[in-house]
Chain A
Amino acid sequence: MTSSTVKSPATSAYWAGLRDGSPFVLMAVPFATLFGVVATDAGLTVAQAMGFTVLVIAGAAQFAAVQMMMEDAGIAFVLLAALAVNLRMAMYSASLVPYLGAAPLWQRALVAYLNFDQTYITSVARYEARPDMRVQDRVAYFLGVATPITPLWFIMTLVGIMVGSAIPEAWALDFIVPIMFLAMVSPMLKSLAHVAAAAVSVSVALALVGLPSGTGLLVAAAAAMVTGAIVETWIERRKA
């Protein structure tokens, strides 16, 4: 990935983020539309479906909540299931602290609102690759990544509500999201420690797949982070 050198660093960081975030429209368009369709089918009003998309702004959790609402689950179960799906974002929040902790509170709040898988992974990859970025440039980059995705997520939900018909199964839209996530994480497998962490994440998540939504993933992620840290420490000691 290249960077532009014209204008102020914050402006060029914003544009670099905008460029790196653009491919995710591919995913935001079909999935926001699909959520609009599903939410309408489930019986939500236009305002309620839009309320979900704007206030929660987390695709997987939105689908999980509507799915459970269609089954008339208790309100507490709906909330627990959807929030469990989002708990991984507490890890995202913590891992952004070293990069964005010095930003003003309102900027950190804005980043928090926009902190979903795509914006987080894309931004952290950039911060890792360029350790000398200034804090305001990091914030600008993050907002740049969020710029193409977020409005489209809102607008296409509305389109889905209006269109209200199912998308053909042959498009295999279910698998666009896994491909996006795999493509985002693969370039980050840059050391034995990272590969070991990913392997543990996969193994534990598959072993715990029967647990309630989101909880197996949290255990898998914690185990993977510990594995990564141990392997890295071990390699450092061998070098020393």
Chain B
Amino acid sequence: MTYSTGQIWLIIAVLGAGTFLIRFSFLGLIGDRPMPPLVLKLLRFTPVAVLPGMVAPLVLWPAATGGVPDPARMIAAIVTVAVGIRTRSAIWGIAAGIGTLYLALWIFAIR
């Protein structure tokens, strides 16, 4: 890394301010003014529209394996989703997913 101390702090300050402004944007500016029904309908899908797309490449091509698909991680992902849908609970999904991940990694390691 060849940045000066001032440049590093500039990066940190701009990233901090920029990230806050992104997070504050709509919540700060719109407040309690009513939004059009169509916009509200679109926004209701935000969580299911962002997270699956964010995670999918990490499941198929994990960085830890250099992008090579890994059966242990895929099985853990499938179990997490299945248990999350079935129990309607994030906590059970996390527990089942992490448990499956370590079990599968262990089984594939001794094979």
Contact = CB atoms under 8 A, between A and B. Distances in A.
Contact of B24 (A93, A185, A188): A93
A56 to B, nearest CB: 5
A83 B15 contact: yes
Contact of B49 (A105, A121, A228): A228
Interface string A184-197: 11111100011001
Nearest to A124: B47
Contacts of B57: 205-206, 209
Contacts of A170: 105
A232 B89 CA distance: 24
Contacts of B81: 182, 186
Contacts of B24: 93, 108-109, 112
B11 A75 contact: yes
B85 A187 contact: yes
Given A112-B27, A229-B38, A185 B53 contact: no
Interface residues of B, number: 77
Interface string B51-67: 11111111111111000
A169 B22 contact: no
A205 B51 CA distance: 10
Interface string B2-42: 11000111111111101110111111101111010011111
Interface string A218-232: 001110111111001
A42 B36 CA distance: 47
B94 A193 contact: no
Contacts of B58: 174-175, 177-178
A56 B15 contact: yes
A111 B27 contact: yes
Nearest to A94: B26
Nearest to A44: B8
A33 interface: no
Given A56-B16, A97-B26, A78 B31 contact: no
B68 interface: no
5 contacts: A113-B23, A121-B51, A178-B59, A182-B93, A221-B53
Interface of B: 1-3, 7-16, 18-20, 22-28, 30-33, 35, 38-64, 73, 76-77, 80-85, 87-94, 97-98, 101-102, 105
Interface of A: 1, 23, 26, 42-44, 48, 51-52, 55-58, 61, 65, 69-70, 72, 75, 78-79, 82-83, 86-98, 100-102, 105, 108-109, 111-113, 115, 117, 120-122, 124-125, 128, 169-170, 172, 174-189, 193-194, 197-202, 204-206, 209, 216-217, 220-222, 224-229, 232-233
